[in-house]
Amino acid sequence: MSGTVYLIGSGPGDPGLLTLRGAQLLARADVVLYDGLSNVQMLCHAPTAQQICVGKHGQSRIWRQDEVIAEILRHAQAGRRVARLKGGDPAVFARTAEEVEALQTAGIPFEIVPGITAALAAGSFAGIPITHRGLASAVALVTGHEEPSKAESALDWTALARFPGTLVIYMGVTTVKSWTTALLQAGKPADTPTAIVRRCSLPDQETFHCRLDQVADQLQQL
């Protein structure tokens, strides 16, 4: 018999923001595969499980997605309960679709546990509501780092520049010059208020306020 896989969102970083369901399933797990965006303090909920880090930027090799999937399947097909601990929410820029497809193909049961995604956490912890009755009735979650193998960007920066609401850019540090330039060239006002949130929800969180045309220079100074 195959085991079960739990795809758990760990939230933005503060271990206290892990959901009760996430903690319950970690406690059941025989194996935990966690990435660098997950706070290792959350592993206290799985003290007897085998704990496998699948990579942390600047500290260890980042596993390829096919390697992660192969490891999940290997343990699940051996009858183990596997927790895949992801940063943020599994449904937002977390490559969960690929893991779900592999599990469905293999006939392995799974459960997806939501987590607090960075967009919601950053707004709340920085004191900047991402919706506002008089200013923003919509929110767009945008990746600043698309799949490198794509022939061209799938993002319509002209449409995003006209978007009547809040733009939240994920993973946009290394590509900041590219996406800020694209927005400005598409007509987004240079003085658009912008906030940069680092280490969201952690004790050393920092928030910087500037104009859109100052974001690239601001990030270079951090």
* Residues tagged active-site: 35, 56, 171
Report the DSSP beta bridge partners of residue 5.
82, 110
Question: Which amino acid, 76?
Answer: A
| Contact call for residues 113 and 139 (beta carbons, < 8 A) | no
The three-class DSSP label of residue 130 is coil
Report the DSSP beta bridge partners of residue 166.
139
| Contact call for residues 159 and 183 (beta carbons, < 8 A) | no
The three-class DSSP label of residue 145 is coil
- Residue 119, both tokens: 């967009």
Strands (E), 57-201: 81-86, 110-113, 139-143, 166-170, 193-198
Rg of the chain over Cα atoms, rounded to whole angstroms, equals 19
Report the DSSP beta bridge partners of residue 4.
81
Phi and psi torsions of 220, nearest 5°: -65, -25
Do the bridges between strand 193-198 and strand 166-170 make them parallel or antiparallel, or are there none, so unpaired?
Answer: unpaired
Number of Cβ within 10 Å of residue 103's Cβ equals 22
